[in-house]
Each structure stands twice: as C-alpha cells, then as structure tokens.
Amino acid sequence: MPELPEVEVTRLRLMPELTGRRFEKVEIRVAKLRMPVPQELGLMVEGRTLRAIERRGKYLLFDCATGWLLIHLGMTGYLQLLPAAVPPGKHDHLDCHFNNGKMLRFHDPRKFGTVLWLTGDPLLHPLLASIGPEPLSERFNGSVLHSVGKSRKVAIKQLIMDSQVVAGVGNIYANEALFMAGISPERVSASVTVVEFNRLAEAIQQVLGGSVARGSSLRVMEDSVAYFPLDNNVYGRGGEPCRRCGDMLVETRQGNRSTVFCRSCQG
C-alpha cells in the first residue's frame, strides 16, 4: 500500500508536469471503487486549469478552481503519467487528459482506491476533517504525541499509526521509526516518557523525510510515480540479524499487521 512518502513523491513528480495545464477530457471506466466514482466528473473539470496539487495524509487533492479532485490510491493503486494515446489495460479505471499531450491514469487492481469530486473547503470533508497533524510540518513534535499518548493504553506502534494522532504513518514507517528511536512497538503508550516521545517524533520525521528525498531522486519507472524501492532496517527482515547489534530480529503481529523489531535495541 502506498504510504505517505510514496504519495508525496507522486505529488512532487506530477506538479511540474500538470500544474497550469488544462483538463481536456476525462474517461471513467468503472462505476465504483471504494466509493462510487462521480460519473459527471468530466463535466466538472473539462476546460478547467489545474491550479495546484496538494496532499493531506495519504490523499491527493487536485485544485481545479471550482472544486477539488480527491484521489486516494488504496491498497494497490498508483498513478501513471503517460502519452495520451496509450491504450488502457484491464485495471486502468480513470484517465485525465491534459492540453500538453499527457494523460494521468489511475490503475487499481483491487479497486480499494477513491476518486471523488469535492466543493468548498476540502479539509472539512469527513474523509479529511479528523486527520491529525502532518508529520513533516512544524505542527508535529514530541509534545503532540505525548499529549495524546500519555494516557492511552494502546501499544505505541498502534498510536502512531492512528491517522487522528498523526497523518500518514503507515506500517512500514512505524516499524522503522520505532527502531530508530529505540522504542519497542509493544510498549504501552502511557509508559513512554516525554524524552522518548521527542525522540520518536524526530525519528518519524527523519524516516519519512528521508524516504521522500530518496524517492524524489529516483529516475526509474518514471511513468509509474507511486512506488520506489526501500532499504529497511527492520520491516520485512524478521529472523535476520539486527544491523545495529547483530541479534535476531523478532517478527510478530499487531492489529493484523506485521511488526519487526529488535528486543535488544528497542526497550
């Protein structure tokens, strides 16, 4: 599933290509993804100029002046920027054609993504209104985490994956940030100290920010703008030696998600 860095890299790659360009045609080939796709979308955006591309959590927001095109990539979705003549495949559900000859295509095999048309303030929409602070913004720090987590009995990993606590920290990056901060994912949030929360917030920013920087620098698969390879310290490495101490990494399940950590390095 694309996580915050992948979505942010997608936004950064699309902006110079599409900002200021005019929508010429919208082709919709599916009635419903996670939610019904507005079949009148073409009437809303054709002839409009794309003013900006923004992001809230894992949601992309395309500013079309009269409203906002909202896209969430879901579990298996990704966006492609292609020449307009490329024929669609089986799971290509939406094409937006622009006046520079480019086409933005939404590919989603499992149909868990979302495409909506919003008017008014998009941040007030129910999908976005309850999302917590952006982890790469100045609003996010250890004090924010501490204020929420100091009285919570949930595991610290579950806390930082709660989008109402902090936006967009998915499973991979939660594993990596907790390793960097030296905190066990099994720790109860209320047991985490202020100092540890500060260290964790910094780790979240470093892991996410570093991933955005790494993804933005890649030039592989330029037409597929959502995914890029990761070099993880713990995630996906259960049973392998810890790169810090050499002990075996432990893999467990939390909230039906894979959790990998080092019992020696993460207290």
- The residues that are catalytic are 2-3, 58, 257
The letter for the amino acid at 135 is: P
Measured CA distances, 170 to 23, 124, 137, 200 (Å):
32, 23, 17, 15
CA dist., res. 248 & res. 108, Å (int): 37
Residue 215's Cβ-count burial label (10 Å; 0-12, 13-18, 19+) is buried
* Cβ count within 10 A of residue 241: 12
> What value does the CA radius of gyration of the chain take, rounded to a whole number of Å?
20
Is the alpha carbon torsion for 166, 170, 175, 177 positive or negative?
negative
Residue 38, classed as helix, strand or coil, is coil
Contact in structure between 228 and 215 (CB atoms under 8 Å): yes
What is the full DSSP assignment across 103-121?
EEEEE-TT---EEEEE-S-
